[in-house]
Structure 1
């Protein structure tokens, strides 16, 4: 139903400092820009930095994780240390560093099995939700599967084309928060997705080559033909 993450949209107040962070500091390749948005390549995923001038706006204070080759991790730490207040967490054999962009998004760079060089994909996005059970039901209907839950059930981790974390309002690792009105897009089967969400979606509209859905928490999910 959903094959791969094709876009993550972030809301930024000003393009210049956001571009300096993602384009210069994180060395991401710029794909295109206009007066209201700039798009970078994160592997096969487009990272869209968008001023609040349209709908969907892009997520605010979104926590998301980017893939880097395992053997580049120490170099990234040295590159960012001193310029940012870094925090590290270890998950099994993999390490991740956390820092914040100029608009308050918590960016994780995690060791994964990618070729690189540099950032080579987005493997996790965190959404803030009002009702965890409702949100979990919505996304499991789209093919995501629960793999982990918080002890006090403030969060659920789902696995699908990428990891999707659903958080009720709280501070996570590195004091990260789930994003609000996050804009994510997938390659997949638009008709199957529309049928799966049914009346649970707040809105379903046709867009070029697919559909755009607004989930019960106001996040935007766009699905375009594979």
Structure 2
């Protein structure tokens, strides 16, 4: 049976200084700022035609978003997430990061026959960022394929969001619940730690080798690759067959809300997932 999950639509981060976050993601990434509301502590950016990045400032006893706030949604803290760049642009990314005095680490997640290079660094708030090379001609295309985007020559040439990694204290329960209660498509897990990979696509696909597909990584709260944590109380948005996900969520008895905008669900571990029509 195909998964009702289609693609990654957006990521929400928690930041303790909204203007600094706006400067970082506007200047270093060249993202278009589509909303900046200091009173609500919200800044929203356009990543491309189908994906967005949102910053929320923690505001005591108030909600950044009334609709999601009903499920006690927060932006993720210390989230690890990845961006897609064209493989040929990775060397230029190093130069740009150096110009902004951002320390980076390079790892090769591939093989000698097929390298899969990636750059890791942090934003000013402790979120772990990754730049992952993508082969745009790969036949494994997501619902919304990444496309070259015109950005400032001084900005990282990102073309899409690739993945988000979130933490679960009860790993075994998560691994059973995510496919059953939402329909996420499990692909594999690592041999040496509790680390499950779910592809954000209707059908199983293998990770790596420049795939343009998008991913949800779920692991234990321990530090993972490149000293990065999976995020807690994450707020993530996915494109999906909303009605199909809603039936699963209702049967699982999870706390949720369903309206004309889509479906929002609070996972037992405190993450809030939003599912919207493509």
Equivalences for residues 21-170 of structure 1 within 5 A: 21-35=24-38, 36-43=41-48, 44-53=50-59, 54=63, 55=69, 56-81=73-98, 83-92=101-110, 93-112=115-134, 113=136, 114-117=146-149, 118-141=157-180, 142-161=182-201, 162-170=214-222
CA contact (8 A) 1:42 1:66 kept: no
Q: Once superposed, which parts of structure 1, at least 4 consecutive aligned residues long, lie more than 4 Å away?
A: none
Equivalent residue for 2:204? none
CA contact (8 A) 1:190 1:210 kept: yes
Offset of residue 23 of structure 1: 0.7
Larger proportion of strand: 1
User: Structure 2: which 5+ residue stretches go unaligned?
Assistant: 64-68, 137-145, 150-156, 202-213
Report the structure number with the largest CA radius of gyration: 2
CA contact (8 A) 1:135 1:216 kept: no
Over residues 165-196 of structure 1, what are the superposed CA-to-partner deviations in whole Å (9 max), with x where a residue is unaligned?
A: 11111111121000011111122222211211
SS in 1 for 2:230: coil
SS in 2 for 1:33: strand
For residues 57 and 253 of structure 2, the distance between their equivalents in structure 1, rounded to whole angstroms, comes to 25
TM-score under structure 1 length normalisation: 0.92
Over residues 38-81 of structure 1, what are the superposed CA-to-partner deviations in whole Å (9 max), with x where a residue is unaligned?
A: 11122221100111232322110000001011111111111113
CA contact (8 A) 1:132 1:154 kept: yes
The structure-2 alpha-carbon separation of the partners of 1:125 and 1:13, relative to structure 1 and needing over 3 Å to count, comes to same
For residues 254 and 227 of structure 2, the distance between their equivalents in structure 1, rounded to whole angstroms, comes to 30
Q: Name the Cα RMSD after superposition.
A: 1.8
Matched, 1:212 2:218: no
For residues 2 and 146 of structure 1, the distance between their equivalents in structure 2, rounded to whole angstroms, comes to 11
User: Structure 1: which 5+ residue stretches go unaligned?
Assistant: none
For residues 30 and 201 of structure 1, the distance between their equivalents in structure 2, rounded to whole angstroms, comes to 37
CA contact (8 A) 2:221 2:230 kept: yes
Q: How many residue pairs were aligned?
A: 226
